[in-house]
Structure 1
Amino acid sequence: MNREQISGIAHADHPIKSPLDDDSVRRLLERGLPRGNERVLDLGCGSGEWLLRALAAHPQLQAEGVDISGDALVQARQAASGLGVQERLALHHQEATDFSSPHLFDLVLSVGATYAFGGLLPTLAAARKHLAPGGHVLIGEGFWEREPSQEAVEMLGNFTDLATTVDRVVADGWTPVHGHVSTRGELDDYEWACWGSLASWALDHPADPESSHVLETATTRRSEWLRVYRDTWGFVCLVLRQTSD
């Protein structure tokens, strides 16, 4: 079973692939979509959950998503058809770093996918290329709530603290107009959902040759969360505008 399949099972009960509950997602989208008739782009959309929720809430919205996972995009198309929003959603199977469009977008999303661009600032540089004047960027990024262990850094990446993260964004020419720091409940719910879904799948499919591997993965990841980074890692979403267009 490959990484993409593992991720699909892990997120079965938490389709937003970040530590955010439904109310937080809704509020962030409301802040990024003040009119409701915007053109939206998600760089690294996965199964399109952010776009699907935006389209369902705003009948005049147009959206596009980019991802390298063909399976995730198939899932997004099926979900869009079920919601009746498929005609307002365009999906592109390619690297987000290579995506180009004749359109500019009023909202550019990249939540929990900055790794695809090599970090926070490169992701913002990519978003800037697609952003219409006066538009918003919604970006989600990890940060260290307190000094991490070396093991945590090696496991999750070389993040900074929250204040430094925001300072870097501002120095890059952006002004935060809204933000949300994931609560302890959101962080814990996300981890329990991911590793619980994996464990449940393994227990429900004992005859599957991948069952023991999936259960081992769930056990390992749960232990890493509880022992290595639960008390140090946080997640922030920022709604940004360019300081000067």
Structure 2
Amino acid sequence: MDLPRSFTIRESSHRLCNPFTSEKLTILRQAISPSPGTRVLDLACGKGELLCTWSRDHGVTGTGVDISTVFIGAARARAVEVGVADRVGFVHADASGYVADDPVGIAACVGATWIGSGVAGTVELLRRSLMPGGMMLIGEPYWRREPQDQATVEGCHMTRKDDLLPLPELLERFGGLGCDVVEMVLADQDSWDRYVAAQWLNIRRWLEANPDDELADEMRAELTAAPVKHARYQREYLGWGVFVLMDR
């Protein structure tokens, strides 16, 4: 049970495995201002940056869950680095079936709603761990501009245009699930650049160090195509944000 190696190669230098900068993560924390001691469950937590920095800066406690052994190892090391290993813990597991033993004040899935087969299933999964009056954090892409052809859809790593919604329709979708949207912090084009462009250097350095690896041809092809694909499609058409929801 693990992520394919290509993921960890691309994101080897990342602390945030989403198109979200540390500054935007701070804005989100300040916007919802969790009380010290608030328990957080972060499903598909990646390298644990949300839990670790929020524990350091706001005193939250909690658990992160991720399927990647590499990411979980990095999360545990980050907790030690920032001095919060006694307040947060990380579990290597499939987040799609994970429910907290005790209700939490914040239940998060930031950028991995496939664990619930989409937004609706992920909201239902988070609700199973959430205390009354708690908050859900959902990180989700949306169409920044409506794609005009299938090449654009596929250039944004989607299969069909209907795989994503424009931002107003996504907000309506949350409402249709019985949630109030009480905050949102959106990525911008610079956020996307910092996330995606850093992957190119990670891949290049990995290729130089591993020219004979079985993944070398695949990663070389990705590096060759990725900058133009990002500039032509992803940068112009893909939005992404973290949406804060509360049950009505």
For normalisation by structure 2, the TM-score amounts to: 0.88
1:212 positional shift: 4.8
1:211 positional shift: 4.5
> Number of paired residues?
240
Per the alignment, residue 53 of structure 1 pairs with 53
1:34 aligns with 2:34: yes
Identity of aligned residues (%): 28
Give the letter aligned to residue 44 of structure 2: G
Once residues 122 and 99 of structure 2 are traced to their aligned partners in structure 1, the CA distance between those partners, rounded to angstroms, is: 14
The unaligned stretches of length 5 or more in structure 2 are: none
1:5 positional shift: 2.8
Q: Which moved more, 1:158-167 or 1:102-111?
A: 102-111
Q: Per-residue CA shift, 1:166-212, capped at 9, x if unaligned?
A: 00001111111111221121122221112232123323x26553545
1:218 aligns with 2:219: no
Which of 195, 198, 201 matches 1:196?
A: 201
Q: Per-residue CA shift, 1:73-115, capped at 9, x if unaligned?
A: 1221122122221121222222112112321111111111112
Alignment of structure 1 residues 1-245 onto 2, 5 Å = 4-59=4-59, 61-148=60-147, 149-154=149-154, 155-156=157-158, 158-203=163-208, 205=209, 207-209=211-213, 210-243=215-248
Once residues 147 and 207 of structure 1 are traced to their aligned partners in structure 2, the CA distance between those partners, rounded to angstroms, is: 39
SS, match of residue 137 in structure 1? strand
Give the letter aligned to residue 38 of structure 1: T
- Is contact 2:34-2:58 (8 Å) kept? no
Give the letter aligned to residue 66 of structure 2: D
Once residues 111 and 241 of structure 1 are traced to their aligned partners in structure 2, the CA distance between those partners, rounded to angstroms, is: 15
Give the letter aligned to residue 184 of structure 1: Q
Q: Which moved more, 1:124-133 or 1:184-193?
A: 184-193
Once residues 168 and 129 of structure 2 are traced to their aligned partners in structure 1, the CA distance between those partners, rounded to angstroms, is: 27
1:130 positional shift: 0.9
- Is contact 2:53-2:82 (8 Å) kept? no
Q: Which moved more, 1:3-12 or 1:164-173?
A: 3-12
RMSD value, Cα: 2.1
Give the letter aligned to residue 53 of structure 2: R
Once residues 188 and 114 of structure 1 are traced to their aligned partners in structure 2, the CA distance between those partners, rounded to angstroms, is: 22
Once residues 241 and 21 of structure 1 are traced to their aligned partners in structure 2, the CA distance between those partners, rounded to angstroms, is: 24
1:228 positional shift: 3.3
1:3 positional shift: 5.8
Q: Per-residue CA shift, 1:5-52, capped at 9, x if unaligned?
A: 332232233321111111110111233343132000101112212111
SS, match of residue 236 in structure 2? coil
Q: Which moved more, 1:194-203 or 1:62-71?
A: 194-203
Once residues 125 and 151 of structure 2 are traced to their aligned partners in structure 1, the CA distance between those partners, rounded to angstroms, is: 30
1:230 positional shift: 2.5
1:4 positional shift: 3.6
- Is contact 2:46-2:66 (8 Å) kept? yes
- Is contact 2:41-2:100 (8 Å) kept? no
1:135 positional shift: 1.0
Once residues 171 and 207 of structure 1 are traced to their aligned partners in structure 2, the CA distance between those partners, rounded to angstroms, is: 50
Q: Which moved more, 1:41-50 or 1:142-151?
A: 142-151
